């Protein structure tokens, strides 16, 4: 479905729905109780995410970025805009190995196949986060994907959002009939020998062991080439319920939790996205901190590396958002397929 065939009514992405006390996440340097806020430095940039736009063919119940058929808060990024960042990586010798594509639904962007081609031609691996529904299943898109598979093999991976291994709970998130449509898309990818991964959610109180067992039964029944016991093949994301209060992360938390800042997503990745009305894309710390322009780090990777003031200190990211605690520090989540060192 093309964007020009859709309503362009924008659903703003704000912090207003986050049920946190007013003083929390207000000061970039100090938590509400006056402690020094935790920070994460970019240790090694291995993954660059490209947000293809927030327009999506469906509206999930708990989409963290509020993607929908009408939300164009992030507009379609163009092939030329994405290519400029790929060239910067090559020219400045950034250690990037993986280009990730997220949305919205990436295959709604008319330049998606071209952007994939540009990434793969430059010898990056490419990871596409998709719902494997109608936008991906259009004949021209399938034809383009088959050509990329033939040229680049398993350097192209499609990670399909399958929120649960049962139709009832998956459709609870994504709408009636979504489960069957997604399964049909995965069936096609499997039959055509694509590299496939799955992404599920953990919002129903199941243990990880039970969830992986449920997915394993579904995967076996459909003969998909996915290893359910491998975390990068079946990613189970922590739920980000904006209605739940979360603690702020202080510098002391690293030792208390036995974690290292270098294991956080923003230690190894950045994302580019283009806000509606902006002339050019901006660099963001990660795929999660998208809701306010104060998270923009600059117009290039070089600028982002030296971002200063507010939420940044010479490119270091201050963990001043509930998602930092909810998803990364306490939830252990990361969107990338590349290992975080």
Mean pLDDT, range 151-160, rounded to an integer: 98
Q: Is the pLDDT of residue 23 over 90?
A: no
Q: Please check whether residue 107 lies inside any domain of the structure.
A: yes
Mean pLDDT, the chain, rounded, equals 90
Of 312, 213, 239, whose CA–CA distance to 270 is shortest? 312
152 is in which domain, residue-wise?
A: 44-244+264-305
For residue 49, what pLDDT is reported? 98
Q: Tell whether 27 is covered by a domain.
A: no
Per-residue pLDDT, averaged over 231-258, amounts to: 87
Torsion of CA 14, 17, 20, 23, to 10 degrees: 40
Among the residue ranges 3-12, 47-56, 187-196, the one predicted with the least confidence is 3-12
Residue 75 pLDDT > 90: yes
User: What's the confidence (pLDDT) of residue 202?
Assistant: 84
Instruction: Answer yes or no: is 82 within a domain.
Output: yes
Assign residue 202 the CATH number of its domain. Answer: 3.20.20.70
* Per-residue pLDDT tens digits for 172-214: 999 999 999 999 999 999 999 999 999 999 888 899 999 999 9
Percent of the chain with pLDDT over 90: 79
Domain assignment present for 203: yes
Element holding 211 (H helix, E strand): helix 208-222
What is the average per-residue pLDDT within 55-66? 90
pLDDT value for 197: 98
Cis bond before residue 67 (omega within 30° of 0): no
Q: Are 326 and 64 a contacting pair, CB within 8 Å?
A: no
**The 312-313 sheet, strands edge to edge:** 39-40, 316-318, 312-313
Average pLDDT over residues 21-41: 90
Question: Residue 160 above 50 pLDDT?
Answer: yes
How far does the chain reach from its first CA to its final CA, in angstroms? 39
The distance from CA 14 to its chain's CA centroid, rounded to whole angstroms, is: 18
> Are 125 and 155 contacting, i.e. CB atoms less than 8 angstroms apart?
yes
Does residue 91 fall inside a structural domain?
A: yes
Output the CA–CA distances (angstroms, integers) from residue 288 to 66, 261, 326, in the order listed: 11, 17, 11
Structure tokens at 340: 């975080």
- Give the residue among 127, 173, 132, 186 at the shortest CA–CA distance from 154: 127
Which range, of 68-72, 121-125, 321-325, averages the lowest pLDDT?
A: 321-325
**3-class DSSP assignment, residue 85:** helix
**Looking at the domain assignment, is residue 29 inside a domain?**
no
- The answer on pLDDT for 294 being more than 60 is yes
Residue 194 falls within a domain, yes or no? yes
DSSP-assigned states of every residue in 172-201? HHH-TTHHHHHHHHHHHHHHTT-EEEEEEE
CA distance 298 to 100: 19
Residue 76: asked if its preceding bond is cis (omega within 30°), the reply is no
Residue 119's closest CA among 89, 158, 160?
89
Q: What local confidence, expressed as pLDDT, does residue 63 receive?
A: 86
3-state secondary structure 8-33: CCCCCCCCCCCCCCCCCCCCCCECCC
Distance, C-alpha 83 to centroid of its chain: 19
Residue 340 phi, psi (nearest 5): -95, 120
For residue 162, being part of any structural domain is answered with yes
pLDDT at 242: 65
Number of domains forming the structure of the chain: 1
- In tens, the pLDDT along 98-116 reads 999 999 999 999 999 999 9
pLDDT at residue 232 is higher than 50: yes
């Amino acid at each position: 479905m093309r964007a020009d065939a859709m309503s362009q009514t924008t659903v703003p992405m704000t912090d207003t729905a986050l049920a946190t006390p007013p003083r929390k996440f207000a000061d970039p340097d100090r938590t509400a109780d006056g402690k020094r806020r935790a920070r994460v430095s970019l240790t090694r940039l291995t993954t660059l995410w490209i947000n293809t736009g927030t327009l999506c063919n469906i509206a999930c119940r708990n989409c963290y970025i509020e993607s929908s058929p009408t939300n164009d808060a992030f507009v379609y990024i163009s092939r030329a805009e994405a290519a400029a960042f790929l060239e910067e990586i090559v020219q400045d010798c950034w250690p990037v190995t993986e280009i990730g594509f997220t949305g919205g639904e990436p295959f709604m962007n008319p330049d998606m196949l071209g952007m994939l081609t540009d990434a793969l031609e430059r010898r990056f691996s490419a990871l596409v986060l998709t719902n494997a529904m109608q936008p991906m299943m259009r004949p021209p898109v399938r034809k383009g994907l088959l050509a990329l598979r033939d040229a680049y093999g398993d350097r192209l991976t499609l990670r399909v959002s399958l929120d649960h291994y049962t139709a009832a709970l998956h459709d609870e998130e994504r709408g009636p009939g979504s489960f069957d449509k997604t399964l049909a898309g995965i069936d096609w990818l499997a039959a055509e020998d694509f590299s496939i991964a799955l992404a599920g959610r953990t919002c129903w109180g199941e243990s990880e062991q039970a969830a992986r067992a449920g997915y394993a039964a579904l995967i076996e029944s459909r003969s998909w080439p996915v290893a359910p016991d491998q975390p990068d093949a079946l990613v189970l994301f922590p739920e980000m319920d904006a209605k739940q209060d979360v603690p702020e992360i202080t510098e002391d938390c690293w030792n208390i939790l036995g974690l290292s800042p270098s294991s956080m997503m923003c230690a190894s990745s950045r994302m580019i996205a283009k806000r509606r009305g902006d002339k050019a894309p901006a660099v963001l710390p990660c795929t999660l901190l998208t809701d306010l322009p104060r998270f923009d780090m600059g117009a290039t990777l070089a600028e982002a590396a030296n971002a200063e003031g507010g939420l940044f200190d010479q490119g270091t990211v201050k963990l001043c958002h509930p998602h930092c605690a909810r998803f990364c520090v306490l939830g252990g989540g990361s969107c990338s397929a590349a290992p975080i060192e």
